[in-house]
Structure 1
Amino acid sequence: MSNDADDLFLIEARQLAESLEAGLLDMKSRPEDRTLVDSVFRDLHTLKGSGAMFGHTALATFLHDFETAFDAVREGRFAVTAALIDLGLRACDHAVTLLEGGEAAPGQALLAELTALISGGDAPAAAPAEEGAAPEEGAGSGDWQMAFRLAADCLVLGARPQVLLDELRALGATDLNPDFDALPTLIDLEPDRLYIGWRLRLPGHVTEAEIREVFLFNEEDLRLELTREPAGPPPEVEAATAPPAAGPVAMAAAPTPPAAPPRERTMMRVPAERLDEMMNRVGELVIAEARLAELVARTGDAQLVAVAEEIQRLATGMRETTMSIRMTPIDSITSRFRRLIHDLNGALGKSILFEVEGEETELDKTVIELLADPLMHLIRNSADHGLELPEVRRAAGKPEAGTIRLSARYSGAEVVITLADDGRGLDVGRIRARAEERGLVAPEAELDEQATLALILQPGFSTAETVTELSGRGVGMDVVKRTVEQLRGTIEVESVPGQGTRIHMRLPLTLAIIDGLLVEIAGERYTIPLAAVEHIIELPEEHAKRGDGSRFLNIRDQLVPFLRMRELLGSEGPPAPFQKVVVATAGELRVGLTVDRIIGSSQTVIKQLSPLHSTLKTFSGATVLGDGSVALILDVPQLVAFGQIRDSMEAA
C-alpha cells in the first residue's frame, strides 16, 4: 500500500469518526429518529470495512460487535439508551486511538461492557413473527449461488470493487470467478467504465440481510442474482426483491426514468498543503498581474490594454474560486464542542445546554483550525467557573440547566464569534484585587470596567480558588488572546454579575488576499481593506488646518471621531490642500482616517510583517504593489479602538 493511500484512509477514517460522534450525540436527544440510527450504522460499517481493507485489523475487529449492536437497534431489537450512546462515544474515542497506533487492550473492557449491556434486559421483546411470514433465510437451507454486476459508472463515483470482494470473502465466499459477458470490443472500450461482473458461492448460514449489507453503498443500478441450492426438495429461488419468480431473480434498482434528476456532485479530497501552495501561487499571480497593468498603463497600447484586462479578469476569477475552496463553515469544528459539553455534564455534575447560531458562517480554513483550541478553552472556563451548580441556579431563580451559546456572524470584512453563558458573571472587584496581588496593576492605577475585565487575558491570571482538571491554573485565556492576535483579530470581554459573560472575537475573513483601497499619506502609500470602508468624503475646510484641535466630524447628522494619519504616523511636511477622509468601520464603531490622496482599489496580497515590526499595532501586514514597492496595510480595528480610547480619555 502506498503512503498516499494510507494517508488518505486516515483522513477519511477520522472524518468518519467525527461523523459517528456527531450522530451519537444527535441520537441522545432524538433516540427515535430512524435516520440517525441508520447513519450511525453506516458510519460504523464503513469504518470497519475500510479498516479491514487497509490493514487495521484491530480496528475492524473492535468495531464488529458495536456494528452488530447498532444493527439490533436499527431492526428494533434493542432500544437506544443513554448507556449505549455513552459506550458508543467511548468506542469512537478508542477507534481514533487505534487509528493513531494505540494499544488495542482497552477495547476489551468496552466490549465486555457492551456485552453486559446487551444481555442486561434493556432490549425490547422481539416482535412475534407474523402469520405466514417467511422463515429466516439461513435456517437449514442450501448454499447461495450468487452473481452481481455493479453500475457501469461506479468507478467514476469512487466505488472499489475489491473492497466488496474482500467483504464477500469474509462471509465465506468460494468459487469466485469474473464474468466477462458484457466486455465490449477493444475499439468500444471506455477505460473509466466497469464491464466485469462476478459469480460466486456463499455458505447457507449467511443471511440475505448480510449479503445486502455488503452492497449498502452501491445499490444504485446494482444487478444482483441470488439462488438457493436445493437442500433436498427441488430448487427454490429467493428473490432479493419481491415478488419471487421462477429461476434466478434480479435484485436491481428500478430503471432510471428519462427525466430523473442529476446525481450529486462528485467530491474530491485534497491535502491542505496543496491548497496552501495554490493560494501562494494565486497571490504571486495577482502581484504579477498588477505589475503588468502598471506597465501597460505606461505604453497606452490598445491591444496590450485589452490583453491586460482579460488577464485581470481571469486572475480575479481564479482568486475568488481559490478563496471559496479555502472557506470552511464554522460547523466543521462545532461537533467536538458538543462532545466536550457531553463529557463536562458528567464530570462537573452540572446540566449544560450548548447552542450554536450561524453554523453556516464561513472562515478561511487556517483561521478555523487555529480557532478550535481557543474556543475549547473558553467553553471549559464557562462550564467550570461561569455556570453555577443546579441548586445554586435554582435558588437564584434561574433554570437548573445552564446555557453556553456559540454564535458567528459577518460584520464587514470580519467575522464576529461570540461565546456567551448565563452563569454568575465576572467579579470586577475580585479581578482588580488579584491583578494587584500579581503586580499586573498598580494600586493607584485608574481602570474602567472594560480594561479591568481585559486583565483576565493576561498570562497566568486566574481568580479560581482551586485548581481542577479542567481549569484554574492561569493558562488558557492568554492563549486565546495570543491566537486571536496572531490571526489579526481582536478580543473583548463583557460581563454582568449574576447574568453571565460574553467574549467577542473579531477575525478577518481570510489571511491571504483582500480587495484594498490604496491611499497616499505624506508621499507614502498605504492600503485599507476595502470591505471596511463605508464611504469617502473631503475633509471640511474648517478642520483642514494643522493646528485645529477638533476630533469629530459631523457625517449624516452623526459625530464620527477622526484621526489625522499624518500626525499618527509622525509624517513631516505640510498636508495636501484637499485632504480626504476615509470612514472605516469595525463592528458597530466607525472612525475617519485623513489621507492626502485616494489612488484607487486593487487586489491586495497580504504578507506578514517581520518579527521586528510585528508589534506595530497600526499595521496588519504589507503588500507588494505593481511597481515592486511595498505598501503597509492599515489595521482598521486597531485604529477604531485607538480613536475610541482617545475620545473617552479626552471626555474624562
Structure 2
Amino acid sequence: MGEEQFKGVFVEEALEHLTLLENALMELEETPDNMELVDSAFRSMHTLKGSGAMFGFDVLSHFTHDIETVYDLVRSGSMKITQELIDLTFCAKDEILCMLRNDYDTIPEVQKKKDELTKEFKDLIERYRDGGNGATAKGTLKKPDGKSIPDEIIVKDIEAPRYTYRIRYRPCTSCFLRGTNPLLNIEELAGFGRASIVAHMDDIKFLDEYDPDACYAYWDIIVTTEKEIDAIKDVFAFEDESSEVKIEVIDVSGELDGGDQYKKLGEILLEKGDLTQDDLDSVLGLHKKLGELLVEKGVVNADIIEAALAEQVHIREEKKSQQTSVEETATIRVPADRLDTLVNLVGELVTVQAHLTQMAVKRIDYELLNVAEEVERLTCELRDNTMNIRMLPIGTTFDKFKRLVRDLSKELKKEIILATEGAQTELDKTVIEKLNDPLVHIIRNSIDHGVETPEQRKKVGKPPKGTITLSAIHSGSHVLIRVKDDGKGLDVEAIKNKAIERGLISANAELSDSEIFSFIFAPGFSTAKEVTSVSGRGVGMDVVKRGIESLRGSIGIESARGVGTTITVKLPLTLAIIDGLLVRAGAGSYVLPLTSVLECIAISKDEIDQNHGRELTMVRGQIIPYISLREHFFINSTEPVNQQIIICEVNARRVGVLVDQVIGEHQTVIKNLGGIYKNVETLSGATILGDGSVALILDVNRLVNLVEGVERDAVKRLGMASEMSVCE
C-alpha cells in the first residue's frame, strides 16, 4: 500500500472520529456532566492527533493538541463543559474537515480561522491550567507520587473484564423466621449478568421430621458479570453467621486454562469439596460416565452432579459467546468503486442467465433447462447477497442533520430538537448518497416555515421547544422517509392564491388540499413575504422533487393548520437491479418498475374508440386516466384489436399506461442511456433482454408529470386564445 493509500485510509478514519465527536458534542449540550461523552470527545481528538502526525498531517496534529488538552482538563475536573466550549469545538471540528482537503494550504481565510481558534483554545488552557485536581501546565494528569501519566495510558480504552464466579449458598435453616428470603439474594445475583442456578433438595426431611418454618434447600450459582468480588459479597452482607456462603473466581474474561472443554467433571467436584480423591479413584476405570458411577455408588447425589455439569456448560457457552462477539465485529474496508464493479458484474450475469433460460425454453432441451434453473437460483442468491453488501443503515445520514437543526435553529432564534426513528433501516448506498441534498432542503424548510418561535408557540399553548421527527421504515420493496414537524402547518388559502397569481390554476378551480400542497414543488414558488438567509426565493422544494424523482421515488405532503406538516418520501431500496413488468408497444419493448404497478386490465379497440379521444377508462366504478405509449413515442404501426392498461400508483393517484401486450415479470439490470439521451425525461435507463435486444425503462412518475404539464399548457393556450377572440 502506497503513501497516498495510507493517507486515504487515515482520512476515512478521521471522518468517522469527527462524526463521533459531533454526536458527543450534541449530547453534551443536553447532559454536560456526562463524563463518558467527555471521554469520547477526548479519545477522538487524541486519535486524530496521533494518527495525523503519523500520516504527515502535521498541521492537523498540532491544532488538535490544544483541543485535546482542554478536554483533558475537563476529565481531570479542572474545567466544566460550557456552551462556549461546545461552540468552539464545533468550529474546530469544521476546521479539521477543511484540513483534510488537499487544497487546505492554499486558502488563506481558512488558515486565519485556524490561528484564531488555536488562540481561543490556548486562552482557555491558560485560564484553567491552575485549577487543581491533577492538572498541570500541559494539561496532563499526575500520579500521587507526582510523576506524569503517559498519554497512551490515559486514553487507553480498556474493556472491563468479565468475571465468572462459583457460589455455594446454603442459608441457615432459621432464615425464614428472621425475615430473610434467600430467593431475593439469588435474583439479585442473576441480575448481575448471565447466571446458571441449580437448587439442591437432598437435605429436605421426611414429613414426620419436617419443620415448615425451616429452610432445607441450598444452591450452586455460576454467574458471569463485570462486577468485582466485593459486589458479590455485598449481596450476602446481611446473612446470618451460620449461613454458608462460598465464593470462588473460576474464570476472568475467558483467559484461565481449560479451553472450550473447561475442566473435567471430577476436577470440578474435587475443587468444590463435594468429592474426595479416594472416592474418585474408586470409580475411575469403569466403563460408564463418571457422573452416573458416582450417583450409583452413592458417593454424591444427582443434584451435585447437575450443578457441576451446569458449570461446565456455563463456562463453555461464555467462551463461545466471547469468541462470537469478536468474530461479529470483524469488518473489512472495501473501496466503493470495487463494490460498484461487483454489482455491474452481477448485473451482466443476470442478463446472461436470462439468455440461457430463454435458449433452453426455445430448444425444448430439458437437461439444459435444469441447468438454467440452477444457474437462475444461484444468480438470484448472488444478486441478493451483493445487494445486501451495498445496503447501509440510514442512521449515519440522520446523524448529520442534528448539527444542521442545532445551527439553523440558533440562527433563526428558535428552539428545535431533532428526534430520529428507524435509524437501522437500510438503503442502497447510492440512494443514501443522493438523498442527502433533498433532505437538507426539506428540514431547512420545516425549520424556517414550519416551527414557530418560542413566543409564538406559547401564545397558542404549545411548548416553547418545537420538534422535527425524522423517521424511516420499510414498506415492501420501498423505504418511507418522513420529516414531521409540530409547527403551524401549511396555509392552504395562501398557497392557492399564489398559484392563481402565477397562473397555475384558474380562480374558480376546485382542488383538494393535497393537490394544492403539490404547488409548493413548482419552480420559483414561495409564499414567504420576506427573503431570509434560509428561504423565500422559491428555490429548494422544486429541487427536492427533481432529486427524489431521479431516484425513482415520489414525495407527498400532509398538513393540518396549527398542528404541523408531514412530508413523506418514498424510495426504492436499490437503484441497480429492479423487478419490472416487461411490455410491448409496436415493435419496442419497455419495462415498468413492478413496485409502482397495481394491476393490469384488458381493453378493446372498440372501447377506446367509443371514448372519442378521451383517454379515460372505468375500473370498478372509478374513472382512471391513462397514457398511450403509442401516442407518446409516436408509434405509427397498426394497433392490435386488444390492448392492456397497466394501472400504476403515482403520487397517491391511480394512472394507467396503455400498451399493446404484457410479456410478464422481468428481472431488470439498469443501464445508463448515455449523454445523448440525458434530456429524455420519461426514461430512467435501459436493460438488455435475454435475446440481446434492448428494452427502455419507463420513469412512470415523470411520464405522468410531463403529460399533465403538456395538457396544462394546452389548456392555458386555449384560454388565452378564447380571451383574444372575445376582445376582437
From the superposition, tell whether residues 613 and 122 of structure 1 become closer, same or farther in structure 2 (CA, over 3 Å). same
Which residue in 2 is equivalent to 1:56? 57
Give per-residue Cα distances to partners, 1:208-264, cap 9 Å, x unaligned.
Answer: x6342475479999xxxxxxxxxxxxxxxxxxx99xxxxxxxxx9871664422213
Which residue in 1 is equivalent to 2:113? 106
Greater relative CO, 1 or 2 (CA 8 Å, sep 6+): 1
Which residue in 2 is equivalent to 1:168? none
- The answer to whether the 8 A contact 1:78-1:123 is kept is no
Q: Does 1:553 align with 2:619?
A: yes
| 1:9 partner letter | F
Q: Deviation at 1:628?
A: 1.3
Which residue in 2 is equivalent to 1:421? 485
Query: Which range is displaced more, 366-375 or 111-120?
Result: 111-120
Give me the whole-angstrom Cα distance separating, in 2, the residues matched to 1:338 and 1:267.
Answer: 27
Give me the whole-angstrom Cα distance separating, in 1, the residues matched to 2:514 and 2:355.
Answer: 46
Which residue in 2 is equivalent to 1:210? 151
SS at structure 1 position matched to 2:337: helix
Note the aligned Cα RMSD (angstroms). Answer: 4.2
From the superposition, tell whether residues 530 and 450 of structure 1 become closer, same or farther in structure 2 (CA, over 3 Å). closer
From the superposition, tell whether residues 587 and 446 of structure 1 become closer, same or farther in structure 2 (CA, over 3 Å). closer
- The answer to whether the 8 A contact 1:423-1:500 is kept is yes
Which residue in 1 is equivalent to 2:255? 255
| 1:359 partner letter | A
- The answer to whether the 8 A contact 1:421-1:500 is kept is yes
Which residue in 2 is equivalent to 1:196? none
From the superposition, tell whether residues 381 and 499 of structure 1 become closer, same or farther in structure 2 (CA, over 3 Å). same
Give me the whole-angstrom Cα distance separating, in 2, the residues matched to 1:553 and 1:567.
Answer: 21
Give per-residue Cα distances to partners, 1:387-440, cap 9 Å, x unaligned.
Answer: 222112211222211222222233343333232323233334444555566x55
SS at structure 1 position matched to 2:47: helix
- The answer to whether the 8 A contact 1:327-1:365 is kept is yes
- The answer to whether the 8 A contact 1:560-1:591 is kept is no
Give me the whole-angstrom Cα distance separating, in 1, the residues matched to 2:659 and 2:333.
Answer: 46
SS at structure 2 position matched to 1:470: coil
Q: Deviation at 1:604?
A: 0.4
Q: Deviation at 1:563?
A: 4.1
Give me the whole-angstrom Cα distance separating, in 2, the residues matched to 1:266 and 1:614.
Answer: 42
Which residue in 2 is equivalent to 1:17? 18
| 1:508 partner letter | P
- The answer to whether the 8 A contact 1:388-1:423 is kept is yes
TM norm structure 2: 0.65
Give me the whole-angstrom Cα distance separating, in 2, the residues matched to 1:123 and 1:289.
Answer: 73
From the superposition, tell whether residues 563 and 59 of structure 1 become closer, same or farther in structure 2 (CA, over 3 Å). same
Which residue in 1 is equivalent to 2:397? 333
Give me the whole-angstrom Cα distance separating, in 1, the residues matched to 2:538 and 2:707.
Answer: 31
SS at structure 2 position matched to 1:46: helix
Which residue in 2 is equivalent to 1:292? 356
Give me the whole-angstrom Cα distance separating, in 1, the residues matched to 2:653 and 2:499.
Answer: 29
- The answer to whether the 8 A contact 2:24-2:40 is kept is yes
- The answer to whether the 8 A contact 1:327-1:364 is kept is yes
Give me the whole-angstrom Cα distance separating, in 1, the residues matched to 2:623 and 2:509.
Answer: 26
Q: Does 1:318 align with 2:401?
A: no
- The answer to whether the 8 A contact 1:79-1:123 is kept is no
Which residue in 1 is equivalent to 2:570? 506
Match of 1:376 among 440, 444, 467: 440
Task: Report which of the two structures shows the higher radius of gyration computed on alpha carbons.
Answer: 2
- The answer to whether the 8 A contact 2:630-2:659 is kept is no
Q: Deviation at 1:352?
A: 0.9
Give me the whole-angstrom Cα distance separating, in 2, the residues matched to 1:413 and 1:637.
Answer: 17
- The answer to whether the 8 A contact 1:584-1:591 is kept is yes
| 1:255 partner letter | E
Query: Which range is displaced more, 368-377 or 111-120?
Result: 111-120
Give per-residue Cα distances to partners, 1:114-151, cap 9 Å, x unaligned.
Answer: 455466679998499xxxxxx954846xxxxxxxxxxx
Q: Deviation at 1:90?
A: 1.8
Gaps of 5+ in 1: 129-134, 141-204, 222-240, 243-251, 647-652
Give me the whole-angstrom Cα distance separating, in 2, the residues matched to 1:586 and 1:123.
Answer: 67
Q: Deviation at 1:520?
A: 4.2
Give me the whole-angstrom Cα distance separating, in 2, the residues matched to 1:40 and 1:293.
Answer: 57
Q: Does 1:266 align with 2:334?
A: no
Q: Does 1:28 align with 2:29?
A: yes
From the superposition, tell whether residues 568 and 507 of structure 1 become closer, same or farther in structure 2 (CA, over 3 Å). farther
| 1:88 partner letter | T
Give per-residue Cα distances to partners, 1:169-217, cap 9 Å, x unaligned.
Answer: xxxxxxxxxxxxxxxxxxxxxxxxxxxxxxxxxxxx442x634247547
Give me the whole-angstrom Cα distance separating, in 2, the residues matched to 1:392 and 1:73.
Answer: 38
Q: Does 1:464 align with 2:465?
A: no
Give me the whole-angstrom Cα distance separating, in 2, the residues matched to 1:57 and 1:395.
Answer: 54
Give me the whole-angstrom Cα distance separating, in 1, the residues matched to 2:25 and 2:438.
Answer: 25
Q: Deviation at 1:112?
A: 3.9
From the superposition, tell whether residues 527 and 560 of structure 1 become closer, same or farther in structure 2 (CA, over 3 Å). farther
From the superposition, tell whether residues 644 and 464 of structure 1 become closer, same or farther in structure 2 (CA, over 3 Å). closer
Gaps of 5+ in 2: 136-140, 163-227, 230-251, 261-315, 711-728
SS at structure 2 position matched to 1:405: strand
| 2:151 partner letter | E
Which residue in 1 is equivalent to 2:98? 97
From the superposition, tell whether residues 302 and 35 of structure 1 become closer, same or farther in structure 2 (CA, over 3 Å). farther
Which residue in 2 is equivalent to 1:398? 462
TM norm structure 1: 0.72
Correspondence 1:476-555 to 2 at 5 A: 476-521=540-585, 524-534=588-598, 539=602, 545-547=607-609, 551-554=617-620
- The answer to whether the 8 A contact 1:414-1:509 is kept is yes
Which has the larger helix fraction? 2
Correspondence 1:346-361 to 2 at 5 A: 346-361=410-425
From the superposition, tell whether residues 466 and 583 of structure 1 become closer, same or farther in structure 2 (CA, over 3 Å). closer
Give me the whole-angstrom Cα distance separating, in 1, the residues matched to 2:618 and 2:551.
Answer: 31
Q: How many correspondences in the alignment?
A: 544
| 1:488 partner letter | R
SS at structure 2 position matched to 1:267: coil
